[in-house]
Amino acid sequence: MDIASYIQDLLWDYECVIIPGFGGVLATYRPAEMILAEHAVYPPSKSLAFNEYLTNNDGLLITYIHQKEQISYAEASEQVENWVKKTKSLINNNEEIYLPRIGRFQRDVEKKLRFEPDMSVNYLASAYGLRKVIAEPILRNKSAETIEVMEPHRASYTLPKANKKWAMAAVIILFLALGTTLNLIYQGVDVKPLNLNAASVLGFLENFDKPVEAIPEPKPSINKELPSITAETKQSIAVHFEQPSASTDTAMEYMTASASPETNTLSKTTAPDVRPSSGKKYYIIIGSFKRRDNFYNAAAYLKDKHPGDEIYEDSSLESKRVGFYAGDNYEVALEKLKEARKDQQDYWLLVKR
């Protein structure tokens, strides 16, 4: 009896076909899948499996044989029982049973029944006619006559090779020039066109990575008359005097003044009296530094710049000050301040009593 053909017919419509006394053939839905290793796309199908414990007769297979062969139900059941006895005998003798378009049955070394389904048949009716698609990669050799067409609306920003070389050379020259300028500044050479010197560069580097702090304006002194100014100082000056400190007996004050060319008088209404006195000393301060290395570099710069002058170094405060002696005469000190400001406009005058 060709029982395999009956099972094949039933698998199109049913998900389980039981062979009474032998086991059940299961057909479960499997969606379409792509296997990259095989470059293949498989359509949806029914995946076949076998369960040897489904041996109870549900009447499906025997009824179908009864109707198909036009024999009685008892005769159909007897034919199935004979086929099961013969098949089990062959399998127990280590023979392999193959049901066409269904699969293979055999015992393994552990005497367990193994089923290997036949993957060549798809019993899913909705996928009838669909086959496996092989998508092999296409390898094309670029022909010498191939013309590359660029989109006309998309601009190309790639520089030609010659322009790339010139751009690289320009960058190298820029870094060399910057390094040379910094080297000259640290050696004490003033770069006049850029108005750069060591004090300004050191001050910039000191405050480069620090947030800008709001500095309160000094309170002007009151009840004091403004001093007259000579014709030799008809320009804007800024004179700073230190406030008294608890650690020193020096009296210091702050003042900012500007000269008026028409009246030879100061434009501010209040300012401390700074007339020259033999008991005062004047120092031109080039900068205040919080970092000790910048403080020492500035002091070394002044010693090279003004070898014959007294160098003022005050490291007692948080901002360490560096300057040079400008004498004990006020007007002479202003002239020296004016001359020094040709190098740097931030220089200011310190008066010590």
Residues 218 and 332 in one domain: yes
Of the residues 99, 134, 169, the one at which a domain ends = 134
Q: Identify whether residues 251 and 122 lie together within a single domain.
A: no
pTM to 2 decimal places: 0.39
Q: Please list the pLDDT of the chain residue by residue as tens digits (353 residues).
A: 789 999 999 999 999 999 999 999 999 999 998 888 888 898 999 999 999 999 999 999 999 999 999 999 999 999 999 999 999 999 999 999 999 999 999 999 888 999 999 988 899 988 888 888 888 777 777 655 555 555 555 555 565 666 777 888 888 998 888 888 777 776 666 555 555 555 665 565 566 555 555 555 444 433 333 344 344 333 333 343 333 333 333 333 333 333 333 333 333 333 344 444 557 888 888 888 888 888 888 888 888 887 777 888 887 777 788 888 878 888 888 888 888 888 888 888 888 87
What is the C-alpha to C-alpha distance for residues 152 and 132, in angstroms, rounded to an integer? 42
Q: Would 275 be classed as within a structural domain? A: yes
Whether 347 is in a domain gets the answer: yes
In the prediction, which pLDDT does 142 show?
64
**Close Cβ partners of 225 (under 8 Å, ≥ 6 residues apart):** 273
Integer CA distances (angstroms), 254 to 88, 165, 260, 328, in order: 116, 56, 20, 18
Note whether 218 and 348 are same-domain residues: yes
Residue 165, domain member (yes or no)? no
Same-domain status, 341 and 222? yes
Q: Are 311 and 295 in contact (CB under 8 A)?
A: no
Same domain, 341 and 227: yes
- Dist. CA 253–CA 94, nearest whole Å: 115
Which residue among 134, 161, 193 closes a domain?
A: 134
- Residue entry with tokens 């006309």: 152
CB 308 within 8 A of CB 262: no
Pair (113, 225) in one structural domain: no
Q: Is residue 73 part of a domain?
A: yes
Residue type, position 209, single letter: D
Q: Residue 58: which CATH number? A: 4.10.520.10
**47 domain-assigned:** yes
Counting the structural domains of the chain, the total is: 2
User: In terms of residue numbers, what domain contains 223?
Assistant: 214-352
CA-CA-CA-CA torsion for 33, 36, 40, 42, nearest 10 degrees? Answer: -10
Decide: 22 and 55 in contact? Cβ < 8 Å.
Answer: yes
Residue 207 lies in a domain: no
Q: Which of 307, 341, 302 is nearest to 323 (CA)?
A: 302
Residue 220 shares a structural domain with residue 110: no
Whether 11 is covered by a domain: the verdict is yes
**Domain assignment of residue 206, yes or no:** no
Both 11 and 124 in one domain: the answer is yes
Alpha carbon 245 to its chain's center: 50
Question: Which of 108, 134, 160 is at the close of a domain?
Answer: 134
